[in-house]
Each structure stands twice: as C-alpha cells, then as structure tokens.
Amino acid sequence: MTADKNTNKSYFRSHGYTPDEIILTDSGESCDLSKLPPFLRTLLVMDGTVTKALEAWFWEPVKVVPLKNELTKLTETVEGLATKKGDKALQREVILQGVDSEKTFACARSTVALESLPTEVGLALETGQIGIGELFREKGLETYRELFNINYFSAVPKGDVLLAHMEGEVVSRSYQIWVNGSAAIIVTEYFSVSAYKG
C-alpha cells in the first residue's frame, strides 16, 4: 500500500505500525518500511534513548563522538523550537560509535534551545562529551519526545560532512524533546541501513 506524504509525520506519534508500508519522504524518495531490518524500524519509531537501545542490541558500549558543538545566537526563530531571535542555541553533530568495534551505528544533529533547559543541563551539553538522552537520565530530567518525521535517502547525500561517516541507504528520524512544557531540542538521527542487516 502507498501512504500519502503526511502519514509518517502524524501516524508514528502514537503508533509503531502503519498499514501503509510505503511512505513518501521529504527527500522525494519513497521508503518501504516493511523491507527495513526490524530493529532499525524499531529505532525509527521509538520514543526512548537510542544510545541505550544500541548498546543492548549490539552488546557493546557506545560512545558519543562530537564533531560539532557550536554555541550561536539565533538570527531568526527555529520552527518547532521554543525560541526567538537573539536566543542562545547550541548546534550539535555527533557520531554514535561502538567502543569495541569502532562501527558507526548512527549520526545525529540537533539544535538546542539553551534557555529552555536548566542551566546545569545546558552547560553539560555545551561540553559535547555526552549524549542528550544519557544526560537527561543522569539528571533525572522528565522529558517527552515527539516524532515528527521519517526520511529516506537511497544514497548518502553528497557534501554532507556528518553523513560522510555513513554509506549506502540512509534512513532518519526527527523529533522534538519537550522539557517543562517547552520544545527545547530538535534532533535528527541518521542510520545506515546496511549496519542493521544480518
């Protein structure tokens, strides 16, 4: 079955399954969800911390390798975030990599509205050495994650420095992290399909 373009933006907010197996993504390419490895499908729709799930599945510790951790002042509002022009934001890009295998399991980019977070959490994120979900668990911070998009690329987009660490087909999920009633962070996580086969 073929879904309309908006199915993946609304259905997966509350369900992990859709009868429409093929979705049209923002990249302009369609993705047959039923053909993805089952664990990867699970990662795309889950609302928990991906690092913890990766460690359990691949049975090795996963480290966060920071590539970019840049503090900026917004020149405009960011759609989907509780921000306004002039607010401080953190732009992060990281690789989630197996400590033992050194395999790249995922890449992620995020925009963090620092003024929507407790000060100590924002400062810890600025160091760039810890994953967002891991930090929130350690601090006991209550959050809510809302998935709003799944995307698919038949090949790694050229010129994207972060995704140069991946190969072949790539799927991604984007979600908001709500803290104290505010949309504080937008995250997009990318996964090479080949890493989850076999």
| Strands 88-98 and 62-73, sheet pairing | antiparallel
**8 A C-beta contact, residue 71 and residue 49:** no
Return all residues near 65 (Cβ < 8 A) that are at least 6 apart: 94, 95, 96, 97
Q: What's the rounded Cα separation, in Å, for the pair 119 and 112?
A: 13
pLDDT at 129 over 70: no
Q: Please state the pTM of the whole predicted model.
A: 0.87
User: pLDDT for 33-91, tens place per residue?
Assistant: 999 999 999 999 887 788 889 999 999 999 989 999 999 998 888 888 888 888 889 99
Residue 108: beta bridge partners?
94, 189
Higher pLDDT, 135 or 184: 184
User: pLDDT for 77-102, tens place per residue?
Assistant: 888 888 888 888 999 999 999 999 99
Domains defined for the chain, CATH in brackets: 7-196 (3.40.1410.10)
* Per-residue burial over 5-19, b = 16 or more CB atoms within 10 Å of its CB, e = otherwise: eebbbebbeeeeebe
**CA-closest candidate to residue 165, choices 111, 103, 110:** 103
